Amino acid sequence: MTAQEQIANFLDQTLEGTDCFLVEYKLKPTNNYKIYLDSDSGLTLEKCMKVNRSLRRKIEEAELYPDGDFSLEVSSPGVDAPIKMFRQYVKNIGRKLEIELLDEEASGIVGKLLEVNDETIKIEKTLPSKKTKKTEEIINTPIEIPIAAIKTAIVCIEF
């Protein structure tokens, strides 16, 4: 088993029993492990630090890098990162999404995520108000979008 496979197993063990889940895992040629997590209840700095410490301890105990020739970064993908996993859609029910479809002729969709099932999401589409840019008009009929038709979906941060 390679060091990368062992670390992936250690990560699975570390996340077991938590509400954190792996979104993406990258390994750079310099033994720099970048691990991007999310959490059903929100990913905090404390959760990232706990996973980092636990994972680092397991790597060191297994002596995968006896000279300590590795680095480990555990973080969230970032607020501007697109949704990559089904579980992230579920986590973001009630939030506003900006969706780009695979069909390049279709316009982008912005709206509140209402429902998620295995194959589709339901969005309450919104349009900027003609009166003021700060308010939005809600289109009354929610639309259903196949997940397979989505190129990117990004959570809109509202202040």
Q: What is the pLDDT of residues 35-62, one digit of tens each?
A: 999 999 999 999 999 999 999 999 999 9
Question: E strands of 13-142, at which residues?
Answer: 20-28, 32-39, 71-75, 96-101, 109-116, 120-128, 136-138
CATH number, domain 3-75, options 3.40.640.10, 3.30.300.70, 3.40.50.2000, 3.40.50.150: 3.30.300.70
Give pLDDT, residue 136. Answer: 61
pLDDT category, 140, cuts 50, 70, 90?
low
pLDDT category, 28, cuts 50, 70, 90?
very high
* Fold (topology level) of 86-155: SH3 type barrels. (2.30.30)
C-alpha separations of 106 from 51, 75, 99, 156 in Å: 41, 34, 11, 20
Give pLDDT, residue 138. Answer: 64
- Domains of the chain, residue spans: 3-75, 86-155
Kindly tell me if the per-residue pLDDT of 77 is higher than 90.
yes
pLDDT digit string, tens, across residues 101-134: 999 888 889 999 999 999 999 999 987 666 655 6
Give pLDDT, residue 10. Answer: 96
Share of the chain above pLDDT 70, in %: 91
Answer with the residue of higher pLDDT: 11 or 157. 11
Give pLDDT, residue 33. Answer: 95
Separation of alpha carbons 15 and 43, rounded Å: 13
Tell me what the pLDDT averaged over the chain comes to: 91
